[in-house]
Amino acid sequence: MTTTYMIAGGGTGGHIFPALAIGQALRDQVPEARIVFVGTRYGMETSLIPDAGEKLLTLPIRGLLGKSMLKKAAMIWRIPASFLLSVIYLLRFRPKVVIGVGGYASAPLLWTAAMLRIPTLIQEQNAFPGLANRMCAKVAQLACLGFEEAGRHLACAGIVTGNPVRRDFCEGKPWSRKRPLLLVLGGSQGARSLNERLPVVLQRVIEPEMQLEVVHQCGRKYVAEVEQAYRDAPFPVRVVSFIEDLSKLMDDVRLVVCRSGASTIAELKLVRVPAVLIPFPAATHDHQTFNAKSLAALGAAELVPENDLDRLESLLQALLGEPERLQKMVTAYPRTRVNSADQVARLALQLQERRPVKDILKEQQAHVS
């Protein structure tokens, strides 16, 4: 007999990859588990989740923040329609637990699940929670936190689990290459400022004797222009729209230049690679800066605000010219919770058993102490 669990959320890879990791952990612990993912019709989940061989249901909800009053009025029907569909999905599949990972789709499903008295759990990846999880925390029984400071902004009880990372992150055969890598990551949708600035800067700072190869992940819509920007580069360059198999690169990465989404931070902690973090300035409540500060404070990364990119060239020159400095950044990383997805799954199963949250918290505190 199958046991169903629903995982809701999406939009970007930062929500989707933790969701997939949690789903796999649930399957490991409950072999008969059926995992049903719920997202929107407009996010990256429409490709990433089916590509992972998983079932995806969608809701018509879209974000209203930043939209004109006219567009908000035209889209308002999507909210009640999403709640109605949530009722239909929950009654049809009857999940034992509903888990929200952030993103617009999580709010109607978790609120509806709470009204139907289905156990609910949220997983918050960022140091400052997004709007959807702040809303869901009002009805969720428990929050699994990627960063301890996120708990201060959520209405429900929280446990620091770290962020779930894809199971295959440290598996797989490496790409064929002969040189150490400098990796540029623009996030799952690409980053215009990194795509414009990094090709120019790297061609100034990478010396032939460094024997570096550059892999630049730029987002699908920027591939042609980034390839053009590197056309005269005196070092090997590989420009890609998106990297699903990031684990295959990390063994040979000397330095990463990237945004500071929660999944990126979690993966960096796991592989202990020095990083230059450039937070996305338009992220909700500037949560990427909060994320980046947590790593920079350890000495494992350098934080460069987007309005201070002029110092990027001198910083990269210094880092690439001082191998001992990079090594200090490696050793500054903490020991990470490599079983974060497993821990989230275990907490979900305890909620399934209707264990009181206060007992779960007490047991967790005993383990920590």
From 208, 265, 263, select the one nearest 236 (Cα to Cα): 208
Start-to-end C-alpha separation, the chain? 38
Rounded CA Rg of the chain: 21
The annotation places the binding site for UDP-N-acetyl-alpha-D-glucosamine at 12-14, 126, 166, 188, 243, 288
Give CA–CA dist 258/249, Å, rounded. Answer: 15
Length of the chain: 369
- Per-residue HEC secondary structure of 302-331 comes to EECCHHHHHHHHHHHHHHHHCHHHHHHHHH
Percentages helix, strand, coil for the chain (3-state, rounded to 5) are 50, 15, 35
The annotation places the binding site at 12-14, 126, 166, 188, 243, 288
Please answer whether residues 283 and 102 qualify as being in contact, where contact means their C-beta atoms are separated by less than 8 angstroms. no
Reported as type and span, the H/E element at residue 159 is: strand 158-160
Distances (CA, A) of 17 to 45, 264, 298: 9, 10, 25
Distances (CA, A) of 239 to 101, 182, 208: 30, 12, 19
Q: How many CA atoms lie within 13 A of 205 on its CB side?
A: 20
CA 63 to chain centre: 19
